[in-house]
Amino acid sequence: MKKLLLAAAVLLGGCASHPQSLIIAPTEPMPTVNAASSASVELSSTDHRTDTFLVRIHDGDGPAQLINASSNPRALLESGLRDGLSRQGYAMSGHGTVRMALTLEELQVDVDQSAMRHIANSRATATLVVEQDNRQLVKRYQARGEVKGVLKVESSVLEREVNDRLNQLLNAMLNDPELHQFIQ
C-alpha cells in the first residue's frame, strides 16, 4: 500500500503543469552606501534581451516550454534602482546633471528536468552608463544562481530565482562604491 501511495505521489508531482507567466516582484533593495552629495540624477532604461521569455524548461526530447513575466522586468529594475538612489539621498529628476542609462541585457532561467529531478540555472546581466560633466562610467553587473531539486520544478522556485537575480543586480548597483564616487 505504501509503495502504491509513493508511486501515485511521484506521478502526480511529475504531471504538474507550469503557468504561462511568472509573478516577479523584487524586494526593496538594501543600499548600504549613502550619498555624500544630493546630485540630481536622470534615469532611463532599455530592454536589450535577445530572448524576452524568462524561463525555458527542457523536459526530455520535446520542445522547450517558455514562460513569460507577468510584468515588465526592465521597468521593475528601473523602479528599484530609482527608489534605491532616492533613499540614498540623490534627487531623481527628469533633467538631472547626472544621466544614467540602464540596459537589461539578460534575465533568464534555464531548467533541465525529468520526472525525478530538476536543475535550474539563472542569470541576469545589466549595464549602467553614467554621464556627468563630459565624463562617462560604464559598469556591467552580473548575477548567477543554480537550484537543484527532486521531481519537476515548481513555479514558486522559478519566481524566487528570477527575483533573486533582480535583487542581486539592484544591490550590486546601489552598493557600488565606484559608481557613488563617480557621481560626487
Instruction: Establish how many alpha carbons lie within 13 A of residue 124's alpha carbon, considering only the half-sphere containing its beta carbon.
Output: 25
21-22 and 55-59 beta bridge pairing: unpaired
Confidence bin at 5 (pLDDT 50/70/90): very low
The length of the chain is: 184
Identity of the residue numbered 173 = M
At 89-145, the pLDDT tens digits run 888 888 888 999 999 999 999 999 888 898 999 999 999 999 998 999 999 999 999
For 166-183, what is the mean pLDDT? 93
Alpha-carbon distance values, 111 to 6, 23, 153, 157 (Å): 25, 17, 8, 11
Q: Note the pLDDT of residue 13.
A: 42
Q: 16: Cβ–Cβ under 8 A, 6 or more apart, which residues?
A: 151, 152, 154
Helices (H), the chain: 2-14, 73-87, 155-174, 177-183
Q: Note the pLDDT of residue 12.
A: 39
What is the DSSP code (8-state) at residue 172?
A: H
Q: Note the pLDDT of residue 6.
A: 39
- Residue 152 clears pLDDT 80, i.e. is over it: yes
At 29-43, the pLDDT tens digits run 766 776 667 788 999
Query: Locate cell 537575480: which residue?
Result: 165
Can you name the residues that pair with 110 across neighbouring β-strands? Answer: 56, 121
Report if pTM > 0.85.
no
- Residue 176 clears pLDDT 60, i.e. is over it: yes
Share of the chain above pLDDT 70, in %: 85
Handedness of CA 150, 152, 155, 159 (dihedral sign): positive
- Residue 168 clears pLDDT 90, i.e. is over it: yes
Q: Note the pLDDT of residue 16.
A: 45
At 18-73, the pLDDT tens digits run 557 777 777 777 667 766 677 889 999 999 999 889 999 998 878 989 999 889 99
Q: Note the pLDDT of residue 8.
A: 39
Q: Note the pLDDT of residue 115.
A: 83
**Choice between 14 and 107, residue whose per-residue pLDDT is larger:** 107
